Structure 1
Amino acid sequence: MHAALVARPGSCIRQLAQRNRAREIQFTRFLRNDAVTAEEIAGCAGERTAGRARGRDVVVAQDTSELSLGGQRAKANGYGPVGKGGALRGLLLHAALAIDAGNGGVIGLIDAKVWNRTGGKAKHRRSRTTKQKESQRWLDSTRRAAEVLTEAATITVVSDRESDIYAHFAFRPSRAHLIVRACQNRRIETGEEEQQIDLLFSHIDSLPEAGRLKVNVPAAPGRKARSSELAVRFSPVALCKPLHGAADLPEAVTLTMVDVRETSTAEGGKPIHWRLLTTHPVTNLVEARRIVDLYRMRWVIEEYFHTQKTGGFDIEAADISDPEVMIRFATAVAVAAVSVMQLVKA
């Protein structure tokens, strides 16, 4: 099936089988076999990636994407809500890709989890621990990266604002560094003798510029390519433990904040402003530039999701009524999409 998906990307089983009835039955039986699990499909891909990552400096980009599969019909088939409002139904995919930090090449898939939301409305977030929330996926993929990439030279896991979770920093594996775009204006400890409390964003905004960087901003939907200048600030910070749902967490976590913002308003779009929390030490402008460059590799996972959707497989057009079968198929596509990206980039 993997070879068929790579040779002829698509979401129709009949077309993948090239209208060969025997092959179509073979693919269908494979996907409907309860002995086949999405975990095993993703796990095999991770094992292959481990060998290719040996000796490399690896960036692991992780993110979540919604697979919208319809409305009332999808609901009747047992698909859970996705998107805002609950009118759309489908699955969610969380993936982690290994990327060569030196050349930006896609090494392989580290982890892929596809799930269907069931069980009704959840309790208020403050009454649940991280393990009881969907946000546990960020911690799980970081841990999986450390388990898979045992022979990599270095591991840096990068992720966007949704992964700004205190437990993500507190429980990270010792071999894996993090770069996370900050979302929450957390309390931080300031001062050595007196435990004074400040807010993260106001603290970094009050610092003088450490220097400026020249960057090329690529084109994106609704945005032209441009050259720009970024003002850089950085500082070590000690994040305070959250006030709610954090009984098992340390009182503080020490990180570094790297703040970069465009010095002029971008034409046809918002100016760049990234607040990046990292476990890497940053003591000068060169090291700050390295954090920015590593974070920018996160864009590869956006290309990856595009490949699975309108850019290649059109996974959301799959007409599979059984959510469990669709989970296996979506996982197989998640693996094949990496191979397609590698072929395109090659």
Structure 2
Amino acid sequence: MHLHAALVARPGSCIRQLAQRDRAREIQFTRFLRNDAVTAEEIAAHAAERTAECARGRDVVVVQDTSELSLGGRRAKANGYGPIGKGGALRGLLLHAALAVDASNGGVIGLVDAKVWNRTGGKASHRRLRTTTQKESQRWLDSTRRAAEVLTEAASVTVVSDRESDIYAHLAFRPSATHLIVRACQNRRIETGEEEQQIDLLFSHIDSLPEDGRLNVRIPAAPGRKARSSELAVRFSSVVLRRPLHGAADLPETVKLTMVDIRETSTPEGGKPIHWRLLTTHPVTNIAEARRIVELYRMRWAVEEYFHTQKTGGFDIEAADISDPEVMIRLAAAVAVAAVSVMQLVKARDGTTGQNLIEVFEPADQAIVEAISAKLEGKTERQKNTHPKGSLAFAAWVIARLGGWDGYYGKPGPKTMRIGLEAFQAIKFGATLGLRDV
């Protein structure tokens, strides 16, 4: 069993547990992770090949973001882990990931790119003295370029990212076959007036515009936020961004984009109203097109769920007790790939993604999945597997039941799917045993 299969079957961060206390297998996994010829980039690239196949002919949203992997304090520092978070007291690694999501249904297609790194080298010089290529922010440009390279056979590609990616070079140098949706953070200078080229500020410009319409939306629950129905006021406008005054002499003087401004019309109880300023390369000329931009941006939540799956939601990667940062980087990359399978099951559980079972499982697994389903089904309607056989939703129902879900309360999350996958692999192993193996 390869490391990826072991991670999917028994998600966790303990090598001995992954090897099922098989000493030979434990040594095999350890040697793999300590092999200098193995790189995190190669692990991610192999996963991207599979993603490219599954994305063929589909409209794809690539959601990208960065997460900190906290691995301790003084001890981690002594082992060579760099600072993360504010103040530098915590030490660990950083993971930047880009996930491909089906734009039509939100189903997770696969991993497009993953970069894991350890901060070393001391304090950096002032940001204005460094080019984008010399900064960590280069990761946003790299993953966008990687998405264009990997997803050449997709029908369309839109890369979505949050405020940290609001970088002029990111907006100016996006690949021609790729669209962007970036939540604005910088109140940039813009040109207004075709003849006089008057200079205004981005936020004050959009604030001065009349509403173009309103949207009624359902805002899902999130940590610290209850689900609610709400009304959003919408404004949109073409904008021409001016090049920053400092450290950008090699960049284009202007970039033409569209700004879509979304504001919740009332303040929710116990929380802040939503206010998104979205910069996009997509044309927006009416309220329907503005709604589409909002829908695509909301798919960004998939990457937050993905990071949760790698941490407390399933793999507990931050509990790994690995002293060598280079070995930990390789393990984090392997977990980044394996966590996609759990995410795919979570997203497919309601049958809305339309994905096939073979996007996660081997073709030979279908007979086992169907046999388990027949055993697990109960007498009540809610204990029936109503999804089509051969669909990923059908398999997700089985895995969730194996993970302890009873079909009645709540929806199965990554922990339940992780436990269910472990149980499934044990059943699969038993089903393949013959008398000659006993």
Same fold (TM over 0.5): yes
**What's the offset of the Cα at 1:226?**
0.3
5 Å-filtered alignment, 1:51-130, equals: 51-130=53-132
CA distance in 1, matches of 2:89, 2:196: 52
More RCO (CA 8 Å, sep 6+): 1
The one-letter code of the counterpart of 1:266 is P
More helix by share: 2
5 Å-filtered alignment, 1:1-346, equals: 1-346=3-348
**What's the offset of the Cα at 1:339?**
1.1
Instruction: Kindly report the root-mean-square deviation, in angstroms, between the aligned alpha carbons of the 2 structures.
Output: 0.5
CA distance in 2, matches of 1:3, 1:92: 24
- TM-score, length basis structure 1: 0.99
**Greater Cα radius of gyration, structure 1 or 2:** 2
**What's the offset of the Cα at 1:319?**
0.3
Question: CA-to-partner distance for each residue in 1:131-153, whole Å, 9 max, x for gaps?
Answer: 00000000000000000000000
Q: Is the 8 A contact 2:137 2:165 kept in 1?
A: yes
SS, match of residue 236 in structure 2: strand
The one-letter code of the counterpart of 2:197 is Q
Question: CA-to-partner distance for each residue in 1:102-146, whole Å, 9 max, x for gaps?
Answer: 010000000000000000000000011100000000000000000
**What's the offset of the Cα at 1:343?**
2.5
CA distance in 2, matches of 1:344, 1:168: 31
Identity of matched residues, %: 88
The one-letter code of the counterpart of 2:150 is V
Q: Is the 8 A contact 1:224 1:268 kept in 2?
A: no
CA distance in 1, matches of 2:122, 2:158: 36
SS, match of residue 305 in structure 1: helix
Find runs of 4+ consecutive structure 1 residues off by over 2 angstroms: 343-346
Question: CA-to-partner distance for each residue in 1:262-310, whole Å, 9 max, x for gaps?
Answer: 0000112100000000000000000000000000000000000000000
Q: Is the 8 A contact 1:213 1:231 kept in 2?
A: yes
**What's the offset of the Cα at 1:223?**
1.1
CA distance in 1, matches of 2:306, 2:180: 21
More strand by share: 1
The one-letter code of the counterpart of 2:98 is A
**What's the offset of the Cα at 1:221?**
1.4
Question: CA-to-partner distance for each residue in 1:214-253, whole Å, 9 max, x for gaps?
Answer: 1001111111110000000000000000001101101100
- Structure 1 gap ranges (5+): none
SS, match of residue 115 in structure 2: strand
**What's the offset of the Cα at 1:35?**
1.1
CA distance in 1, matches of 2:270, 2:177: 41
The one-letter code of the counterpart of 1:213 is L
Q: Is the 8 A contact 1:256 1:277 kept in 2?
A: yes
CA distance in 1, matches of 2:130, 2:96: 21
SS, match of residue 209 in structure 1: coil
CA distance in 2, matches of 1:303, 1:345: 10
SS, match of residue 283 in structure 1: coil
Question: CA-to-partner distance for each residue in 1:40-89, whole Å, 9 max, x for gaps?
Answer: 10000011100000000000000000000000000000000000000000
CA distance in 1, matches of 2:179, 2:346: 29
The one-letter code of the counterpart of 1:133 is K
CA distance in 1, matches of 2:208, 2:176: 31
- TM-score, length basis structure 2: 0.79
Q: Is the 8 A contact 1:96 1:141 kept in 2?
A: yes
SS, match of residue 255 in structure 1: strand
CA distance in 2, matches of 1:173, 1:68: 33
Size of the alignment, in residue pairs?
346
The one-letter code of the counterpart of 2:126 is H
CA distance in 1, matches of 2:346, 2:155: 26
The one-letter code of the counterpart of 2:18 is L
**What's the offset of the Cα at 1:344?**
3.0
CA distance in 1, matches of 2:154, 2:192: 36
